[in-house]
Structure 1
Amino acid sequence: MNNSMIKAVTATLFATAMPLGSAHAAVTVLGWPGGPEETALRAVTEIYNNQEGLAEEDRVELLFFARDGFWDKLQADLAAGTTAFDLNLLATYSIGRYAPFMEPVTLSDEAEAVYGESVLSTMQFEGAQYGVPTDLSLHVMYYRQDLIDALLADPDAAQTYGDISEEYLGTRLEPKNPDEWTWDDYAATALYFTQSVNPDSPTRYGTVLQMQNLLFNMMVWQSTARSYGGNWMDDAGNVTVDSEAYRRGLELYKLLYDAGTTPQDSTSYEFPEANAAFTSGQVATMLQWNGAAAELTNPETAPAVAESVAIVAPPAGDEGRFTHIHGLGFGLNQNAPNKEGAAAFLQWLSTEKAALAYAAAGGAPALTPDVVSQIADARPELVQLGEFASQYGYVMNGATGANALSVYELQAQHFTGYWTGQETLDEALSAVSAGMEELLSK
């Protein structure tokens, strides 16, 4: 990048900056504008700045620039050695891009008790902590409680359910509470509630899959492979996706798609299309981001299903239950002009007091049960978020590396190709393995 481009990026940063607090603040934090993240960050910064005895040189000021192109702009500024900000936003899947231009951080002594190890790992790279995890995203299983209750109470329905599972899965299963599902139970339930499989089904589709060639859809899908023991790499750095675990996870989606349990055009679906299908009232189950809960349980946005939607963690594989997690957080610029003040703010931000204040202001931190219980009445959805993250959350080995997003894009290209019949399973896994070997060796 030449000097004129670097100047342009820096100019954009300051042209769109929105200050909070003293104009002479010595600790500058670069955040993400709009939405609950900005609201929550402003709230906790105000609390920090109002602390009695805080030195003027340790006060915090916030800067924001547009979300569009945010990560590329951030990389350009960091690579250019900017001193325009001390702390900056981070995301799990991009930490490796910025780690060369940032410094590992030390969080407060309370941090592990506040967030738990799995959540703290979303801000780690090569064994070092690079940030405070302020907001978290993960996946949950949404289902229609009314439909499941009716199935569990009907012996004739259970007989049909067993017949269907035996035909399609090769084993006779009985209906279960969704919190006890394996992936086979989920598949059997999806098949049972699909009218092309079971003409008596009250819904047209048993599930809705997000199968568009899109990297974020790989994040939704990969908990299947992880629950069977799959990972991107082993501890020695060898790529391990060509495995039985990945085959079983990929074959699950293929079976469900080919059997018609999800709309035929699911190969063009991502977050909004999947939500639209579920809220239509014609879908029984859906694996989806936790961020969909507000829409799916709101009678105004989902009148056909809101009163009957229930949520559990994803089904289990041989190795247990798992949910992909990634987070947003804040880390330390290597060229920060006030590292001492910035480190002090990060330490405070990782305390219980700050985390609860951030949650009360609308943020979405994943907190341990003891901590989240203090705000459960006001933010009940955070109880499940913290519980699922701490019990089932994972980050694939290598998924915080510099080329993590490129890995997801590679997987999306070939795994979607397999699901749509453009590649065989062997071809897809071979291509992904070869591509990952190159990407993860850089």
Structure 2
Amino acid sequence: VELLFFNREGFYDKLQADMAAGSSAFDVNLVATYSLGRYAPYMEPVDLGADAAKIFGESVLKTMQFDGKQYGVPTDLSLHFMYYRKDLIDALIRDDAARKTYGEIARKYLGKPLQPKDPDSWTWDDWAATALYFTKQVNPDSPVRYGTVLQMKNLLFNMMVFQSLPRSYGGDWMDKDGNVTVDSDAYKTGLELYKKLYDAGSSPKDSLSYEYAETNAAFASGQAATALQWNAAAADLTSTEKSPAVAEVTGIVAPPAGPDGRADHIHGLGLGLNKNAKNKEGAVKFLKWLATEDAALLYARSGGSPALSPDVVAKVAKERPDLVKLGEFASKYGYVMT
């Protein structure tokens, strides 16, 4: 299999243009839950076999379905993790003087007398207070320079990271009648919180141009206390080879809670068959192989993020505990925006 790479920015527009033009430069193409309908007219459905449901589960297979037809094999499930430095949070909670400083910072910037707590119990305000405490510009005694890393490049994928915040405050893109509803208290709350953190120096000044790769690099440098980031980063951020500064002290929880509880954006990524493929027989054979347990486990062990059934994920739980969390968070907090 030969891979063809394009820029992340504008990728889906280029793919649609190529497929609409009848390109046969590729046999298999990337698809995503949120854009599958754009490509289905230029693709052929695929039969992945009866065992696919046992490996991925029906709900995951549906992320690659359109009009009741299977258009792809679900290679990855995407949602967000809150990554945090266990060593820093543990030290903060144990230190009376540090907790006092934390409370003063929370009152000054957020108007609330907050205290440090276990990240798995964070509200968005708790996260913001923690990020402010670990910001050198706010707290000169902070052991790291930044409290968090905000992905703020004007990019669809960055909006996906952001939207769990307003969602947990009851926000959505549209109402039941299709009217756009981003001019809401939920979205204003989220934007104001991001702006407060950025203005205070909690995120690097150049994070206005950050997306996935820059966020990984900033957190892996050991100079940030938290990062709301895609689950796909877990394999790298917990690898002693790729991220030696933070690998052994990185904790993972679901995104913080708002008044409506926790919310975690979810979508599937996969591979499907180009209608104009030159090598359809080989392409179908490859897609069917990707839907086998052997391929799914190989992909999981190689750093992919497949959503696997409990029986299958148990076979890689020790090597990839993040995949267990992936399934747990998806079932408890996962949502798809209207």
TM bin, normalised by shorter chain, reads 0.7 to 0.9
Structure 2 matches for 1:218-297, cutoff 5 A?
218-297=159-238
Structure 2 matches for 1:413-428, cutoff 5 A?
none
Residue in structure 1 matching 2:262, options 321, 337, 361: 321
SS in 2 for 1:260: coil
Partner of 1:169: 110
By how many angstroms is 1:111 displaced? 5.4
Partner of 1:148: 89
**Corresponding position: 1:211 with 2:152:** yes
The Cα offsets for residues 226-247 of structure 1, whole Å up to 9 and x where unpaired, read as 2222222234433222222212
SS in 2 for 1:209: coil
Structure 2 matches for 1:394-409, cutoff 5 A?
394-397=335-338
By how many angstroms is 1:184 displaced? 0.9
By how many angstroms is 1:102 displaced? 3.7
The Cα offsets for residues 369-404 of structure 1, whole Å up to 9 and x where unpaired, read as 34311222343332223333333333322xxxxxxx
Of the structure 1 ranges 321-330 and 134-143, higher mean CA displacement relative to structure 2 is found in 321-330
**Corresponding position: 1:159 with 2:100:** yes
By how many angstroms is 1:206 displaced? 1.3
Is 1:208–1:285's contact at 8 Å kept on the other side of the alignment?
yes
Greater RCO, 1 or 2 (C-alpha within 8 Å, sep 6+): 2
Partner of 1:331: 272
Partner of 2:321: 380
**Corresponding position: 1:91 with 2:32:** yes
Number of equivalences? 336
Partner of 2:125: 184
Kindly, what percent of the aligned residue pairs are identical? 69
Structure 2 matches for 1:113-132, cutoff 5 A?
114-115=55-56, 119-120=60-61, 122-125=63-66, 130-132=71-73
In the aligned structure 2, how far is the partner of 1:346 from the partner of 1:301? 30
Q: Which amino acid aligns with 1:365?
A: P
By how many angstroms is 1:366 displaced? 1.6
Is 2:77–2:266's contact at 8 Å kept on the other side of the alignment?
yes
Long gaps (5+) in structure 1: 1-17, 19-31, 34-64, 398-442
In the aligned structure 1, how far is the partner of 2:228 from the partner of 2:174? 25
Residue in structure 2 matching 1:134, options 71, 75, 90: 75
TM-score (norm. length: structure 1): 0.64
The Cα offsets for residues 164-185 of structure 1, whole Å up to 9 and x where unpaired, read as 2222222222211111111111
- The 3 A distance-change label for structure 1 pair 370 and 195 is same
By how many angstroms is 1:364 displaced? 2.5
SS in 2 for 1:195: coil
**Corresponding position: 1:196 with 2:105:** no
Is 2:232–2:305's contact at 8 Å kept on the other side of the alignment?
no
Is 1:366–1:382's contact at 8 Å kept on the other side of the alignment?
yes
Is 2:232–2:304's contact at 8 Å kept on the other side of the alignment?
no
Partner of 1:43: none
Is 1:108–1:348's contact at 8 Å kept on the other side of the alignment?
no
SS in 2 for 1:212: coil
SS in 1 for 2:171: coil
In the aligned structure 2, how far is the partner of 1:387 from the partner of 1:172? 32
SS in 1 for 2:80: strand
Q: Answer with 1 or 2: which has the greater Rg.
A: 1
By how many angstroms is 1:77 displaced? 5.5
- The 3 A distance-change label for structure 1 pair 187 and 268 is same
- The 3 A distance-change label for structure 1 pair 305 and 379 is closer
Is 1:208–1:277's contact at 8 Å kept on the other side of the alignment?
yes
Is 1:372–1:386's contact at 8 Å kept on the other side of the alignment?
no
Q: Which amino acid aligns with 1:263?
A: P
- The 3 A distance-change label for structure 1 pair 72 and 184 is closer
In the aligned structure 2, how far is the partner of 1:261 from the partner of 1:199? 12
SS in 2 for 1:166: helix
- The 3 A distance-change label for structure 1 pair 336 and 212 is closer
Q: Which amino acid aligns with 1:168?
A: Y
Is 1:119–1:389's contact at 8 Å kept on the other side of the alignment?
no
Q: Which amino acid aligns with 1:240?
A: T
- The 3 A distance-change label for structure 1 pair 378 and 194 is closer
Q: Which amino acid aligns with 1:211?
A: M
In the aligned structure 1, how far is the partner of 2:304 from the partner of 2:5? 19
SS in 2 for 1:190: helix
Is 1:118–1:390's contact at 8 Å kept on the other side of the alignment?
no
SS in 2 for 1:375: coil
Is 1:220–1:324's contact at 8 Å kept on the other side of the alignment?
yes
Partner of 1:303: 244
In the aligned structure 1, how far is the partner of 2:69 from the partner of 2:180? 22
In the aligned structure 2, how far is the partner of 1:289 from the partner of 1:257? 20
